[in-house]
Amino acid sequence: MNIVIMDGSAANPGDLDWKPLEDIGNVTAYDITPESMIIERALEADAVITNKTPFTEKILDSLPRLRYIGVLATGFNVVDLNACKKRGIIVTNVPEYGTYATAQMTIALLLELADKVGLHDRSVKNGDWVRSEQFCYWLEPLTELYGKKIAIIGTGKIGTRVDVIAEALGMTVLKVPHRITRPGEEYSLEDAVSEADVITLHCPLTEQTRDLINSRSISLCKDNVLIINAARGPIVNEEDMAQALRSGKVAGYACDVVSVEPMKADNPLLNAPNTVITPHIAWAPRETRMRLIRAAADNLNGFMQGKTGKDINQVN
């Protein structure tokens, strides 16, 4: 089997190996594949592994040999699923590999908004503590999270893990599933955001969740609310968020994702006040990426054995 990894440098910038996939077939790995070279590089592939390299119907028309696309991520919107189904191409993803790391990043972002660790570290290293007349000082108000209410929007694996950690911090959790499966047992979005001191997003990006946090939903929030997004950038309307930060309605916004990645120079959040922005690294711990590669190999190995459906995380 010929296996082509289209954009492997994100998951493996050189600190890991591709042995789990090499045990299955002949692997050719590219760090990044520009769109103009997708067909050329995938032409002889029986299986491709992609993270963000797109596979559209037009591209698939030129790849008659291709039988399998493994998405090296949870999200699979880079692949035209209908076009693959028509051509008998199996598409798989890797769900849940980043549960612990993403929950950890969520809490890291929350603590940064609450305790301003980075701000004060920079201040100390600039000599401010050395020059201080008092034994301590703080440059901005700090927040104790104990007793605060946190609305968790999306109660899948990651949201559930954040729930556990938030409760350990002494917070009251308001759960809002992105799909209501037990009507009446969970908070509605409107009720939760109106009560919450902190809002954290853990729902997938769908047409229903796009711009979920916008000027209207923000208007329902308490003044000085803290909002965290370690899910998908477009769940938050960035123009509306920037305006809410400038007005002071939102006291802080921390995100690991933005609407277009890499971030564009004209993104309204880039110059908005009271933000913490990290470059989509919640999934980046070495342990997490090792789990991702192993799971992708397990999916492909299962496909080779004739497995389909949930057994190989098939999404089409």
What CA–CA distance (Å, rounded) separates 56 from 311? 25
> Exactly one of 120, 232, 289, 291 is catalytic; which is it?
232
Is 216 tagged catalytic? Answer: no
CA atoms within 13 A on the CB side of 252: 20
Quick one: tokens of 159?
A: 């949201």
DSSP, collapsed to helix, strand or coil, labels residue 306 as coil
Quick one: DSSP state of residue 222?
P
Q: Which residues sit opposite 314 in a β-bridge?
A: 92
248: left (phi over 0), alpha (psi -120 to 50) or beta: left
> Exactly one of 120, 161, 178, 280 is catalytic; which is it?
280
Closest alpha carbon to 26 in 18, 36, 14: 18
Is 22 tagged catalytic? Answer: no
Is 261 tagged catalytic? Answer: yes
**Cβ neighbours around 309 below 10 Å, total:** 9
Q: Phi and psi (nearest 5°) for 94?
A: -125, 90
DSSP, collapsed to helix, strand or coil, labels residue 105 as helix
> Exactly one of 140, 144, 190, 261 is catalytic; which is it?
261
**Cβ neighbours around 23 below 10 Å, total:** 10
What CA–CA distance (Å, rounded) separates 290 from 312? 18
What CA–CA distance (Å, rounded) separates 299 from 74? 13
Catalytic residues: 232, 261, 280
